[in-house]
Amino acid sequence: MADHIIGDRYRLEEQLGRGGTATVWRGVDLVTGTPVAVKVLDREHATRPVALERLRREAEAVARLEHPNIVASHELAIDGEAGFLAMELVDGPNVADLLLNGGWLPVEQAVAVAEQVCAALAAAHQAGVIHRDIKPGNLIVSRSGQVKVCDFGIARLQDRDGSAALTAHSQVIGTCEYMAPEQATGEPVDARTDLYALGCVLYAMLTGRPPFVGETAVAVLHQHLNNAPVPVRTVRPDVPPELDDLVGRLLAKRPADRPATADQVRERLTASRGAVAAIAPVTVMLPRLTGRHRMATPWPTGCPTGCRTGRPQKHGCGGGGSASSQPR
């Protein structure tokens, strides 16, 4: 499909990623000359209501939002039988790429990424959008260090009165390693569900892996529901206690025990910067937890209906010249 023009406006130039139902291309807007990312539903899914609904949901969610830390959406359209979504193209890797290439992140960088994700989530939650799939692969870091949250394809939208506009409470959908207990059991979700996922991401950035891994998705979800994570400082003693405590609170099993808002989390992250700067890095000999083949236990291979694993992917929303939404 390279060099194909879709929607009489976008020339597709290079495939950036491919998932279960869609392919993301680097393209050019022929009207403005602007580089774009274009998510195109694969032919076999182009007429499937579920695939079209997810594409529409992503466009509707992003249309509610205009924020420097959220990937912008340009156009949702159907060209013949091909539904597509044109989006902002972000030049840079996603956090999953950074973890694969370098293991855990410097504490300062992990805090900076998390602060920007909090800013994006605060805006989304204020607009009634719950992302439901915050994970390293959906966080792009531009060459300048700006973080962009992408892939609102399974977002939960609320009407102005707070009621759900698009999805039923009983749906279990998301990525298992980053899924809050209430999301795993099909209970109602809210802003604190995304904050739990952010806690999982922060844990992964600081230690090189998510808080819970296992042979199967069911095993991972069981741990989310029942097990306490190994404290971050047990794995990495140079992490300040204040930051370790915040991660623990974000990973509380009960939503009521977590911080209530993304703004609260961001304030605590900012407050931790002094402690981060004051503590010298510590070199510790630990099991090899980082890198593509360095997980302490294998990535899950099985998955309940609607639940995706966070297995590192060759393609995603990151990589050089990242697509702005991860295909599925």
Q: Predicted confidence band at 134 (pLDDT cuts at 50, 70, 90)?
A: very high
Query: Which of 324 and 214 is assigned the larger pLDDT?
Result: 214
pLDDT tens, position by position, 176-214? 999 999 999 999 999 999 999 999 999 999 999 999 999
pLDDT number for residue 172: 59
Query: Which of 87 and 166 is assigned the larger pLDDT?
Result: 87
Query: What is d(CA 126, CA 58) in angstroms, rounded to the nearest whole number?
Result: 17
Active site positions, annotated: 133
pLDDT number for residue 276: 79
- Domain ranges in the chain are 5-88, 95-308
The proportion of the chain whose per-residue pLDDT surpasses 90, expressed as a percent, equals 58
Q: What is the DSSP letter of 317?
A: S
| Domain 95-308: CATH architecture, name and number where available | Orthogonal Bundle (1.10)
Measured CA distances, 266 to 84, 172, 214, 250, 301 (Å): 34, 28, 30, 12, 34
> 84-111 in b/e burial notation, b at 16+ Cβ within 10 A?
bbbbbbbebbbbbbbbbeeebbebebbb
The answer to whether 253 is a known ligand-binding residue is no
pLDDT number for residue 326: 42
CATH tag for 5-88 (out of 3.30.200.20, 3.30.390.50, 3.90.1310.10, 3.90.1150.10): 3.30.200.20
pLDDT number for residue 313: 36
Q: Answer yes or no: is pLDDT of 165 > 60.
A: no
Q: Is the pTM of this model over 0.75?
A: yes
Query: Which of 235 and 101 is assigned the larger pLDDT?
Result: 235
pLDDT number for residue 272: 92
Residue 262: which of 184, 177, 197 has the closest Cα? 197
